[in-house]
């Protein structure tokens, strides 16, 4: 059963008064089979998008799509799919409030920051798919992931709805950065 890891905070509700606190998708069942989860959950949807995008593109390359007939172009497709998924989430009304809540309280205009990072993720995804801009896009996305990581730590410490267990989230972040770094070689 898919569960919501935690209720949205008052800041998230204030950011989007029409939302019902957002729907955070978790990939592990809650204790007791239907109530709120008792532990911090790790969102794996971006990792799944990266892997499926990579494998699908690699298979297309093996099936004769010349532009994808190598691991690096397939990796760019996987990363692009992942960043489209995460970028679109910045604008989905039910998730936007939770993402805004992740922004550390010390930073001004969290809604604007979430919009900006969402646009940058989507632009980076497009850039990854254009061979002439792929390296620049990968470098920009690496810097963006490094810059945004403190928000993940802050969200975990404040136990926001999207605050994940920091150890597994850090491991995922390393995988994402490493994948983007492979585009640079």
Query: Concatenated DSSP letters for 137-180?
Result: HHHHHHHHHHHHHHHHHHHHHHT-TTPPPHHHHHHHHHHHHHHH
Q: Which two tokens stand for residue 158?
A: 């404040």
Give tens-digit pLDDT for 88-132: 999 999 899 999 999 999 999 999 999 999 999 999 999 999 999
pTM of the full structure: 0.79
Does residue 8 sit in helix, strand or coil?
A: coil
Instruction: Identify the burial level of 163 via C-beta atoms within 10 angstroms of its C-beta, where 0-12 means exposed, 13-18 middle and 19 or more buried.
Output: buried
Give tens-digit pLDDT for 17-48: 333 333 333 333 333 344 344 355 678 999 99
Q: How far apart are CA 170 and CA 50, in angstroms?
A: 16
Q: Which two tokens stand for residue 156?
A: 């975990």
Indicate if the pLDDT at residue 1 is higher than 70. Answer: no
């Amino acid at each position: 059963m898919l569960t919501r890891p935690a209720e949205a905070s008052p800041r998230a509700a204030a950011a989007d008064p029409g939302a019902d606190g957002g729907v955070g998708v978790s990939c592990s069942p809650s204790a007791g089979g239907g109530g709120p989860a008792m532990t911090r959950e790790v969102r794996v949807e971006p990792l799944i998008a990266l892997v499926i995008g990579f494998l699908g593109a690699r298979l297309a390359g093996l099936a004769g799509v010349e532009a994808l007939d190598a691991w690096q172009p397939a990796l760019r497709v996987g990363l692009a799919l992942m960043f489209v998924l995460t970028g679109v989430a910045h604008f989905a009304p039910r998730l936007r409030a939770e993402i805004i809540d992740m922004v550390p309280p010390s930073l001004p205009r969290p809604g604007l920051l979430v919009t900006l990072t969402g646009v940058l993720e989507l632009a980076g995804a497009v850039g990854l798919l254009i061979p002439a801009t792929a390296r620049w896009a990968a470098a920009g996305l690496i810097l963006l992931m490094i810059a945004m990581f403190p928000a993940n730590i802050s969200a975990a410490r404040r136990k926001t709805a999207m605050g994940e267990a920091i150890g597994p989230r850090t491991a995922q972040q390393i995988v994402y950065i490493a994948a983007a770094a492979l585009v640079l070689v």
